[in-house]
């Protein structure tokens, strides 16, 4: 396997999936972010706080302007993780083709790195997070993400090595048990919610779907590029 | 008389250099997108970077949309 091909396939597929996510977000997620910011601004004005509207508009232009680039970078970041896991685990993944294997892995990673974490620390629109608690919330989020990710990784490595036959059903049960303990042991998000729960619930559902879509696109693009550039390269070596 | 035939078969290995680069990309970009609160710009800008939080604002909407904690 050639380093350049692996890097190119990984980075390119991540950038494509991330850019598509950003474009989808502009249509599906941005309206909720705008609504939440409008509510937050209204609340600040009602409480007598001085709001610099020119600065707010300036920040929103910067934030929206960065959306596509931010999506591409986000995609490259998770694409890098995806590429490493796929390169090492491809043979153990179920599926008849690389596209199927990549799609399966994408589903697992969405579940382990997004959905499981979102059950404990769900996504919130602006107007919910308190700037004073950001480092505390980040450490909780990273802690729970690490527990989910490393538990899944450990169990995936053990899957091939442990001879349990039909008792392999134990593996997902072990994962579930560890995540239940972590869910109970880790403290909740400390911030109080002061805006409409309807807006928050809709935002969470929509973002879970768009991130799921991102992982699906990443899997399909990655599997296709792997077939095009890496499988052919391996076949070339095999026939020499 | 028996003979021993050796067949060398090349097994495609995952290139470690590429994996190292991908790990570096993962850590740096993940910090940039999800966690930076002015830290990266503070290397050249100093304390004002933590007030401006340019990187945070640039990735702001993606942070919310992808589930990272934000203000």
- Mean pLDDT in chain A? 92
What is the predicted pLDDT for the residue at B7? Answer: 67
Residues 35-74 of A with CB under 8 A from B: 59, 62-64, 66-67, 69-71, 73-74
Two structure tokens written together for B10: 């090349």
Which residues contact residue A194 at a Cβ distance below 8 angstroms, ignoring those fewer than 6 apart?
A: A43, A127, A128
What is the predicted pLDDT for the residue at A44? Answer: 84
What is the predicted pLDDT for the residue at A127? Answer: 83
Residues A41, A51 contacting (CB under 8 angstroms): yes
Q: Which residue of A has its CA nearest to B52?
A: A59
Ramachandran region, residue A165 (left: φ > 0; alpha: ψ -120 to 50; beta: rest): left
For B65, the closest of A76, A80, A207 (CB atoms) is A207
What is the predicted pLDDT for the residue at A237? Answer: 63
For A73, the closest of B21, B32, B37 (CB atoms) is B32
What is the predicted pLDDT for the residue at A16? Answer: 98
What is the predicted pLDDT for the residue at B1? Answer: 62
Q: For residue range A131-170, what is the model confidence (pLDDT) as tens digits?
A: 899 999 999 999 999 999 999 999 999 987 887 777 778 9
In angstroms, the CA A22 to CA A85 distance is: 24
User: ipTM value of the model?
Assistant: 0.89
Residues A238, A14 contacting (CB under 8 angstroms): no
- Helix, strand or coil, per DSSP, at residue A120: helix
- For A172, counting Cβ atoms within 10 Å of its Cβ (0-12 exposed, 13-18 middle, 19+ buried), the class is exposed
Domain ranges of chain A: 3-128+195-239, 129-192
Two structure tokens written together for A124: 């919130």
Instruction: With CA atoms as reference, report the closest residue to A212 among A118, A120, A145.
Output: A118
For A6, the closest of B10, B15, B64 (CB atoms) is B15
Stretch A216-224: mean pLDDT: 97
> Testing the interface with A: which of B9, B30, B35, B67 to mutate, by most A Cβ within 10 A?
B67
In angstroms, the CA A178 to CA A148 distance is: 8
Percent of chain A with pLDDT over 70: 98
Quick check: A207 and B37 CB within 8 A? no
Q: For residue range A49-102, what is the model confidence (pLDDT) as tens digits?
A: 888 888 888 888 888 888 999 999 999 999 999 999 999 999 999 999 999 999
């Amino acid at each position: 396997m050639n380093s350049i091909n692996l890097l190119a396939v990984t980075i390119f597929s991540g950038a494509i999936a991330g850019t598509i996510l950003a474009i989808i977000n502009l249509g599906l997620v941005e309206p909720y972010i705008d609504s939440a910011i409008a509510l937050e601004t209204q609340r600040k004005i009602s409480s007598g706080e001085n709001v610099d509207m020119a600065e707010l508009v300036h920040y929103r232009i910067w934030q929206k302007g960065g959306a596509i680039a931010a999506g591409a970078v986000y995609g490259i970041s998770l694409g890098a993780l995806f590429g490493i896991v796929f390169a090492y685990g491809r043979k153990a993944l179920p599926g008849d083709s690389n596209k199927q294997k990549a799609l399966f892995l994408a589903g697992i990673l969405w579940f382990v790195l997004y959905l499981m974490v979102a059950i404990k620390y769900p996504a919130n629109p602006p107007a919910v997070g308190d700037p004073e608690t950001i480092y505390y919330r980040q450490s909780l989020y990273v802690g729970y993400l690490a527990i989910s990710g490393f538990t899944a990784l450990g169990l995936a490595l053990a899957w091939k090595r442990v001879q349990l036959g039909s008792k392999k059903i134990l593996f997902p049960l072990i994962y579930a048990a560890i995540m239940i303990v972590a869910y109970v042991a880790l403290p909740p998000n400390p911030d109080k919610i002061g805006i409409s729960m309807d807006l928050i619930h809709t935002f969470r559902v929509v973002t879970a779907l768009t991130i799921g879509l991102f992982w699906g696109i990443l899997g399909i693009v990655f599997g296709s590029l792997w077939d095009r550039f890496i499988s052919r390269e391996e076949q070339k070596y095999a026939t020499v | 008389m028996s003979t021993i035939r050796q067949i060398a078969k090349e097994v495609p290995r995952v290139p470690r250099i590429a994996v190292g680069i991908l790990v570096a990309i993962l850590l740096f970009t993940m910090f940039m997108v999800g966690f930076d609160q002015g830290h990266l710009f503070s290397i050249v800008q100093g304390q004002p970077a933590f007030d401006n939080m340019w990187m945070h604002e640039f990735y702001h909407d993606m942070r919310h949309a992808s589930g990272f904690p934000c203000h």
